[in-house]
Structure 1
Amino acid sequence: MAEWFIQQSDEAEDVGPLRPSDLLKLVRSGDVKPETRIRKDDSAWFNASEVGGLFEAAMRPTIEYFCPQCQRPVNEPPVVCTYCGREIYRALTRITENTIATSSHASHDAPGKSVQRWLKNKMLRRGKDPET
């Protein structure tokens, strides 16, 4: 799977690696804009606007699947739930309509600060120390 990195204009370190789904979340939140410098794996840096379909993909609905027995997240059926072992051919679904934020919350911080805050919160939720 591809790993994405975001260039910080005011920091020595870049943000990443990010999964494609994480990059889409940052686009939706408005933290990654068309002029944001990003790179894929070990490629050269380029503007996010140069990634064909990135902003269109961020606008597409997100479909999440859940086991009808234990209600835990699962992959798209057919699949076996890793939590309860049930074979699933029709899952519960949740469809989220997505938009790209145009709020100015990122403009209150120096460039990249909101991305760093997002990544730090995500790592804390996963039980990782973001300082290591």
Structure 2
Amino acid sequence: MAEWYIQQSDAVEDIGPLRPSDLLKMVRGGEVTPETRIRKDDSAWFNASEVGGLFEAAMRPTIEYFCPQCERPVHEPPVVCPNCGREIHRALTKITENTIASGSKRAHHHDQPGKSVQNWLKSKMLRRDEDPDQ
């Protein structure tokens, strides 16, 4: 599994190694922005914006699975619950809709897809209402 590292300009040490899920949490929290310098494993440092699909992946919903018997977290079924030993074919699920915190420049664009188009259409409608000849 790939390990990710984050370069901090004001700190002596870099953050990492991080699992991909940890990196996505940091993107969602606004701690990683498109300008944040990151690297994968032993690669050279680059801007987070160069990781294709990173910010889009952070916006996707996450699904968590829970044992229907003890309600402890489990992996996606089919699985055996590590807590109660029950064989699980259908788990309880929790779906979380994700956003990117406003600290990220990308969050502004992805919080409401199509918002700029909606604003443009609204401005056209307002202008048409004000000027019937348009």
TM-score range, shorter chain: 0.7 to 0.9
What TM-score do you get using the length of structure 2 for normalisation? 0.76
Query: Which structure has the higher relative contact order (CA within 8 Å, separation 6+)?
Result: 1
Instruction: Give the equivalent residue in structure 1 for 2:71.
Output: 71
Structure 1 segments, 4+ long, off by >3 Å, are none
Larger radius of gyration: 2
The sequence identity of aligned pairs, in percent, is 85
Structure 2 gaps of 5+ residues are 105-134
Instruction: Give the equivalent residue in structure 2 for 1:27.
Output: 27
Q: Please say if 1:83 is aligned against 2:66.
A: no
Offset at 1:12?
1.9
CA RMSD of aligned residues (A): 1.0
Q: 1:73 to 1:23 in 2, by over 3 A?
A: same
Instruction: Give the equivalent residue in structure 2 for 1:130.
Output: none
Q: 1:19 to 1:34 in 2, by over 3 A?
A: same
What TM-score do you get using the length of structure 1 for normalisation? 0.77
* Number of aligned positions between the proteins: 104
Structure 2: how far apart are the matches of 1:37 and 1:93?
35
Structure 2: how far apart are the matches of 1:101 and 1:9?
21
Structure 1: how far apart are the matches of 2:13 and 2:82?
37
